[in-house]
Amino acid sequence: MKQEIIKRVTYTSLDEVMAKLKRESAVTDQLLSLAAGVFKDIGERGDKAVREYTSKYDKVEISGFRVTEAMMDDAERQIPEELKRAIAVASANIEKFHAAQKIAATVTETMPGVRCWQRQVPVGRVGLYIPGGRAPLFSTVLMLAVPAVIAGCREIMLATPPGSNGIPHPAILYAARVAGVESLYRIGGMQAIAAMALGTETIPAVNKIFGPGNSYVTAAKQYASALGVAVDLPAGPSEVMVVADGSANPRFVAADLLSQAEHGPDSQSVLVTTSSSFADAVYAETERQLATLPERETALSSLAGSAIVVVPSEKEILEVVNSYAPEHLILQVPDAA
């Protein structure tokens, strides 16, 4: 019998479906104690320790961690005009969306003379972490830095691992410049989180750390949080849930599932549908598109942890979506609202 590429689940109870969609918890006690060691080391030996970890994990020797203006100029020269235009459009859109979040304080007089309000105050110095790896996440640079600029943070610093030439990916540097990030550091992994949390001779300590990362980075952020440095949230692997009924196009749905699956071997792609025949069609399409996918191996590994869930009715769709609470939700149904 042929090995199935993605498991198929028929709804019996919510608990059983949820058990089959269980995410791997990335942060283990082992990773946390590794983080404890890195933090202790960087707390005691500062830049010297950061340099050693960079040499060990990123396989490059870095003298100054700060990304220079010359490196930034050089990065800008490497970016094709088309990508520059795309980054400009994305940056403008993100700015438009987040600018709408600036709300004026509403003063409520709960009793005569007692005036109460909430005030939005920017975090003083924020540290944005942008992972290296598979694909340069320059969109994440924009999504983290643009709101920080709008909020009015006093200082925005960004840490991202150096490439094999000692310099981060040019698209990350360019996006940071477009977004208005003033200080960039070419450090990555646990050592970057520890350096931003504790500060070193050349890397300033920040008030809050934002950004995604692998399980090492996530463990380091959890450790920083336990030390009292604010972090955004523990990021897990990326995931998508697609809700579709018989009216959707199986080709599009399969493409949605695969686009997430190629993110990383631990990404999760889930389809929830009431139609068993539609589930069959998506399965067949996924198999077909997978054959020509450049990131085939990654997607295969990711699909092995993914699922197509067939539920009896719309009621169970809502139950599953709410319980799973996906990072990305795509609704391919006539009445999405």
From 21, 27, 195, 317, residue interacting with a copy of itself (rule: CB under 8 A):
27
Q: Is 316 a catalytic residue?
A: no
Given the residues 44, 109, 297, 328, the one annotated as active site: 328
Integer Cα distance of 318 and 150 in angstroms: 35
Least Å from the CB of residue 323 to a copy of itself: 9
Stretch that binds a copy of itself, among 112-120, 243-251, 274-282, 307-315 (CB under 8 A): 112-120
- The residue within the footprint of a copy of itself, chosen from 112, 113, 228, 334 (CB under 8 A), is 228
Distance in Å, CB of 226 to a copy of itself, minimum:
7
Is 157 a binder of a copy of itself (CB under 8 A)? no
For residues 172-191, which are near a copy of itself according to CB under 8 A? Answer: none
- Establish if 134 lies at the interface with a copy of itself (CB under 8 A): no
Residue placing its CB nearer to a copy of itself in the complex, 5 or 83? 83
Question: Does position 226 bind a copy of itself by CB under 8 A?
Answer: yes
Residue 226 or 284 having the CB closest to a copy of itself:
226
* Dihedral pair phi/psi, residue 200, rounded to 5°: -135, -170
* Cα separation values, 336 from 164, 183, 242, 244, 263, Å: 45, 42, 12, 10, 26
Rounded to the nearest whole angstrom, what is the least distance from the CB of residue 257 to a copy of itself in the complex? 23
Of 226, 201, 46, nearest in space to 38 by CA: 46
Number of shown-chain residues binding a copy of itself (CB under 8 A): 23
- Which stretch, 44-52, 138-146, 162-170, 221-229, contacts a copy of itself (CB under 8 A)? 221-229
Which residues inside 308-337 make contact with a copy of itself, applying CB under 8 A?
322
Q: Quick one: CA dihedral 58, 261, 296, 294, positive or negative?
A: negative
CA distances from 312 to 14, 85, 273, 334 (A): 12, 46, 9, 18
Q: Which of 111, 113, 201, 334 binds a copy of itself (CB under 8 A)?
A: 111
Residues 47-76 that bind a copy of itself (CB under 8 A): none
Q: According to the binding rule CB under 8 A, does residue 124 interact with a copy of itself?
A: yes
Give min distance, CB of 108 to a copy of itself, in A: 5
> Of the residues 76, 95, 319, 327, which is catalytic?
327
User: How far is residue 180's CA from residue 199's CA, in Å, rounded to a whole number?
Assistant: 22
Q: Is 97 in the site for a copy of itself (CB under 8 A)?
A: yes
* DSSP assignment string, 256-322: HHHHHHTT-TT-EEEEEES-HHHHHHHHHHHHHHHTT-TTHHHHHHHHHT-EEEE-SSHHHHHHHHH
> Is residue 246 within 8 Å of 334, Cβ to Cβ?
no
- SS3 state at 208: strand
Contact (Cβ atoms closer than 8 angstroms) between residue 320 and residue 17: yes
User: Least separation, in Å, of the C-beta of 64 and a copy of itself?
Assistant: 25
Axis-axis angle for helices 29-45, 189-198 (nearest 10): 50
The answer to whether 328 is a known catalytic residue is yes
CA 267 to chain centre: 11
- Of 68-76, 86-94, 141-149, 240-248, the window that binds a copy of itself (rule: CB under 8 A) is 86-94
Sheet holding 183-185, edge to edge: 183-185, 155-159, 125-129, 208-210, 230-231
299, 175, 218, 68 alpha-carbon torsion, rounded to 10° = 130
Active site (catalytic) residues: 327-328
Residues that bind a copy of itself (CB under 8 A): 25, 27, 89, 92-94, 96-97, 100-101, 103, 106, 108, 110-111, 114, 116, 118, 124, 222, 226, 228, 322
